[in-house]
Amino acid sequence: MKITKIMVSGLSLVALMVTIGCGSNEVAKTEVAKVASQLATPNITEESLGLRKTNLYAEKAETEGDMAKYSKDVTGASTKIARAFENAPPMIPHDIEGMLPIKINSNECLTCHLPANAKGMKESMPNLTEIPASHFASFRPATAIGADGKITKDGKSVDNTSDLLTASHKLDKLSNSRFNCSQCHAPQSQVDPLVGNTFSPEFSKDGIGSSNLMDTINDGVDIK
């Protein structure tokens, strides 16, 4: 930020000097001195940029922050973390050591959370969350452009490829776009927040404990 300030002020100084011709006029000299003074005293410091208000170049504890502490509760013994808002991706409440990274032929999450598996484990794991129906659907309409230049989405004519058309196609397996669980779901670090949070979410019936995205995805949308 200091570099940016210097560059901007330096350019201002050069522009001013060119404009007034750097003559002997006293007013001109005063203006040049004013810009030079601003150049020497930047208004923004490194300490004012971050939430911690510390020197960003000093790798001390107060700048680095607290070490993240994730739950070590084993699967099945952890407590659910309330969703931040309706249909928010749930946080992971249990230890995930050994489960990551998720690979194309290896996804430990499916062992418990795949609906077919979860149903038989609910008795011993009552808090077990099943992968919702929205993860077994595709929301990408088949788009095609004909020889005449007309665009269709799922067989319906649209004006351009960005036109909204909400359609879901049920799949007989987990959607490839939902396979990488850790792109949306993450463990919750057990540290004090840097900033306060006064947000108070509103949930529909059962919305706090499960996903109803498949039922509400078109709410408020003018479907063509």
Asked whether the predicted pLDDT for residue 14 surpasses 60, the reply is no
Q: What are phi and psi of 71, to 5 degrees?
A: -60, 140
Where exactly does CATH 1.10.1130.10 map onto the chain? 69-224
pLDDT at residue 7, rounded to an integer: 46
pTM more than 0.75: no
Q: What pLDDT is attached to residue 144?
A: 87
Higher-confidence residue of 185 and 27: namely 185
Burial class (CB in 10 A: 0-12, 13-18, 19+), 21: exposed
Residue range 36-85, pLDDT digits in tens: 776 666 677 777 777 777 777 776 777 776 778 899 999 888 888 888 89
Q: CB–CB of 186/92 below 8 Å?
A: yes
Is the distance from CB of 186 to CB of 91 less than 8 angstroms? Answer: yes
Nearest to 90 by CA among 99, 80, 98: 80
**pLDDT above 60: residue 223:** no
Judged on CB neighbours under 10 Å (0-12, 13-18, 19+), 46 is middle
pLDDT at residue 194 greater than cutoff 70: no
Domain 69-224, what fold?
Flavocytochrome C3; Chain A, domain 2 (1.10.1130)
Q: What pLDDT score does 113 carry?
A: 95
Q: What is the mean pLDDT of residues 192-214?
A: 82
